[in-house]
Amino acid sequence: MLPFKIVYHDGYDLQLGAHVFPSQKFRLVRDALVGQGLADPADILTPQPATDEDVLRVHTREWVEKLQQNRLTATERMRLEIPCSAETVAAFWLAAGGSILAARCALQDKFAANLGGGFHHAFPGHGEGFCMLHDVAIAIRRLQSDGAIRNAMVVDTDVHQGNGTAAIFASDRSVFTLSIHQLNNYPVPKPASDLDIHLDDCTEDEEYLNLLGQGLKESLDRFQPDLIFYIAGADPYREDQLGGLWLSLGGLRRRDELVFGEALRRGIPVAITLAGGYARRVEDTVRIHVNTILAARDTSDAVLR
């Protein structure tokens, strides 16, 4: 039913209970897509966990072993802001496997979405801000290692800057990093991306879309990637509890269409990951993520028709 594949696993849920991070959203997005007849169960692929070899292309052996053996220091646990357990660790290995699979599918079908992932605050040697492993970086490194892509661009529209992405690819000319985010928000400091668009508090739809459109065009004129990884955070939404931007639901959908339209017109495949989303009503977060999938479907139909 969808013109591309969706990647999802029940194990994505971190089972955090009353935490501000509604990790049940992954299942809710999947259920909404199937329940509303927008996706067919046959559109959905089940990922395998990433291998340790995949993870070690990005992360230090020390960090990987600390996670696997549950040996984090008190400071490391505090920075992570989510519990470290066998279940949560397994969920991050699965999310990384999901992003690898989504990237491969995107190369075939122009689009694919991992209904999870986008853990852009993970660094090689530590995790923070709900992110243990950087699934997107792991996927890029795996596809490069397979010879499936030479270079990639990360387009990150989560309200929080992609500090892990910026740090991992800082001296890597094969990966261009673009982040558009609220300046006065976590993380502090913000290591430099190739392009950082720092937004004032309470930025609304029109200004946001103008700046994103301009930044994206300039970046793609300079750098022609074999693949775009789109980190489609739902948290620039005006009702978000951890964000201070004022985008509307319609503005967020136009954001997605802008990214997809620009990519498709240039013939660049896009792999989508969900990243953050902390709306007061979890239904709004789910709606924003579902809309991202629908924007990909509609752009795909419009451009390829």
Q: Which residue is nearest to Zn ion (CB)?
A: 276
CB closer to Zn ion out of 128 and 257: 128
State the nearest-atom distance from the C-beta of 165 to Zn ion, in Å: 12
State the nearest-atom distance from the C-beta of 132 to Zn ion, in Å: 15
State the nearest-atom distance from the C-beta of 113 to Zn ion, in Å: 18
d(CA 169, CA 151): 11
DSSP 118-163: --TT--SS--BTTBSS-HHHHHHHHHHHHTS-S-EEEEE-SSS--H
Using CB under 5 A, pick the residue from 28, 276, 292, 293 that binds Zn ion. 276
- Stretch of residues binding Zn ion (CB under 5 A), selected from 159-167, 251-259, 279-287, 297-305: 159-167
Check binding of 128 to Zn ion (CB under 5 A): no
CB closer to Zn ion out of 219 and 273: 273
Would residue 70 be called left, alpha or beta, if left means φ above 0 and alpha means ψ between -120 and 50 degrees?
left
CB closer to Zn ion out of 138 and 180: 180
State the nearest-atom distance from the C-beta of 121 to Zn ion, in Å: 8
DSSP 36-57: TTSS-GGGEEPPPPPPHHHHHT
Query: What is each CA distance from 251 to 205, 206, 221, 258, 279, in whole angstroms?
Result: 5, 8, 24, 10, 15
Check binding of 235 to Zn ion (CB under 5 A): yes
Check binding of 9 to Zn ion (CB under 5 A): no
Using CB under 5 A, pick the residue from 54, 128, 156, 158 that binds Zn ion. 158
Binding mask of the shown chain, residues 180 to 199, with x at each position contacting Zn ion by CB under 5 A: --------------------
State the nearest-atom distance from the C-beta of 278 to Zn ion, in Å: 8
Q: Coil, helix or strand for 246?
A: strand
- Stretch of residues binding Zn ion (CB under 5 A), selected from 52-60, 94-102, 153-161, 198-206: 153-161
Using CB under 5 A, pick the residue from 160, 238, 254, 287 that binds Zn ion. 160
CB closer to Zn ion out of 158 and 205: 158
State the nearest-atom distance from the C-beta of 73 to Zn ion, in Å: 24
Residue count of the chain: 305
State the nearest-atom distance from the C-beta of 131 to Zn ion, in Å: 10
| β-pair partners for 6 | 44, 113
How many Cβ atoms are within 10 Å of 122's Cβ, its own excluded?
A: 30
| Half-sphere exposure (Cβ direction) of 280: Cα atoms closer than 13 Å | 2
Distance of CA 55 to the CA centre of its chain: 17
d(CA 115, CA 133): 16
- Stretch of residues binding Zn ion (CB under 5 A), selected from 61-69, 143-151, 174-182, 276-284: 276-284
d(CA 146, CA 148): 5
Q: Judge contact between 98 and 138, C-beta under 8 A.
A: no
Q: Coil, helix or strand for 77?
A: helix
State the nearest-atom distance from the C-beta of 276 to Zn ion, in Å: 3
Instruction: List interacting residues with Zn ion (CB under 5 A).
Output: 158, 160, 233, 235, 276
